[in-house]
A and B are shown apart, each in its own frame.
Chain A
Amino acid sequence: EAQVTQNPRYLITVTGKKLTVTCSQNMNHEYMSWYRQDPGLGLRQIYYSMNVEVTDKGDVPEGYKVSRKEKRNFPLILESPSPNQTSLYFCASSWAGDNSPLHFGNGTRLTVT
């Protein structure tokens, strides 16, 4: 089954404790992206990757890192999480090209205390 898989689904952590949210897709998509979703603000892009070893900032990249060492994986790293990073995070992937729809994972709900 074609899918984008994120882990974990739920995560509670404390301020400053480094964490990684994993994302994997099995559709051989070139493009991958991370979004965060907050009430009243909608989905906002954090980082994206056009292909292996090619990443770039989205609209809200502060406090996040990503890497794209393999085509299928695109982990999101929070080196020193803060409470304002409490949010619902989505990974997405698609083929290259503006008319390719994004396929989303089921989300990771992160709480930073």
Chain B
Amino acid sequence: QKEVEQDPGPLSVPEGAIVSLNCTYSNSAFQYFMWYRQYSRKGPELLMYTYSSGNKEDGRFTAQVDKSSKYISLFIRDSQPSDSATYLCAVNTGFQKLVFGTGTRLLVSP
């Protein structure tokens, strides 16, 4: 079983839609969870970071961790064409090592 699983998409939505991106992870001991955004021909950039369970909000973005089901979610409200990118979930497995999902490609059409 992979440590982190993510649907590769692509996910196509119209501008203004609410987007839900999801990952599952295998080890209940994981505590640090991240979402990275990767534009074409660029490196991943950190979007959201959460520790343990709960929600974290930053503008139009909300990250949610449900440790009971080992589920990580990223919600994007009022999606914009500039949000079109690949979104990578990641868990810190210890000693700074990040294990990434394969990424979900999001396309927001005007």
**Chain A residues within 8 Å of B, Cβ to Cβ:** 4, 31, 33, 40-43, 45, 48, 50, 58, 90, 92, 94, 96-107
Contacts and interface: CB of A to CB of B under 8 A. Distances in A.
A107 B39 CA distance: 12
Contacts of A104: 36, 43-45
Nearest to A94: B96
Contacts of B51: 99
Contacts of A94: 96
B88 to A, nearest CB: 7
Contacts of B98: 43, 45, 102
Q: Which 7 A-B pairs have the closest CB atoms?
A: A104-B43, A42-B102, A43-B100, A101-B46, A106-B43, A42-B100, A31-B96
Given A33-B97, A42-B101, A107-B42, 6 more contacts: A41-B102, A48-B96, A98-B94, A104-B36, A104-B44, A106-B42
Contacts of A31: 96
Contacts of A4: 43
11 contacts: A31-B96, A40-B102, A42-B6, A42-B100, A42-B102, A58-B97, A101-B34, A102-B44, A102-B46, A102-B96, A104-B43
Contacts of B36: 104
A57 B62 CA distance: 34
B49 interface: yes
B41 interface: yes
Max chain A CB contacts within 10 Å: which of B8, B49, B98?
Answer: B98
A48 B51 CA distance: 23
A48 B32 contact: no
Given A98-B31, A101-B46, A43 B96 contact: no
B55 to A, nearest CB: 17
Contacts of B99: 45
